[in-house]
Amino acid sequence: MRDLESVRAATVVRTQVNDVFLCHAWPDRQAAANDVYELLLGKDVSVWFSEVSLRPGTDMRVAIDRGLVSSRMGLVLVTPAMLDKLRTDRSIASNELSALLRRSLLVPVMHGVTFEELDQVTPTLASRGGFSTAEEPMEDIVVKIAELVGIVTEEEADKLSINSAAN
């Protein structure tokens, strides 16, 4: 019979939740997606990110499914590479997106593309409220995302926005 403490510890591990599931195109993983990941970590947002969360030898689809289930919200980094992937490849990227679209909190972030371009590929995702790096820097977008997951209060977000505008 296992003692109560080990059962509690196992339960905590199984119920651990990430704040954000970062959905991105594979070609963006070492540049744009990694930058977003680092910025989110800097705001104490826990992130499921393939470059960190996928271990060698693991089944990618199973790991992604677990990441989707264990995350409070989805963030889709929409880049030219993501649009190309969604247009041509209906495998992992579209499966992730389908799962994310069922969530109530899903935020698209346009990076090098427009909402109009996204609308041509997936109107359902384009209809979600989101952000664009053409309109504001990624640093400010990350503050707003941290606010969404409750990590940064509105007051802290206002101070950060004022400080970044002053610099």
CATH of segment(s) 17-166: 3.40.50.10140
Give residue-wise pLDDT tens across range 34-57. 999 999 999 999 999 988 887 788
Domain ranges of the chain: 17-166
Give residue-wise pLDDT tens across range 130-144. 999 999 999 999 999
Which strands make up the sheet holding 131-132, listed edge to edge? 47-48, 18-23, 71-78, 106-110, 131-132
- pLDDT value for 166: 47
Give residue-wise pLDDT tens across range 118-132. 999 989 889 988 999
Position 164 pLDDT exceeds 80 = no
Position 85 pLDDT exceeds 80 = yes
- pLDDT value for 33: 96
End-to-end CA distance of the chain: 60
Q: Could you tell me the pTM of the whole model? A: 0.76
Angle at 58 between CA 55 and CA 60, to 5 degrees: 95
Q: Which amino acid is at 16?
A: Q
**Proportion of the chain above pLDDT 70, given as a percent:** 74
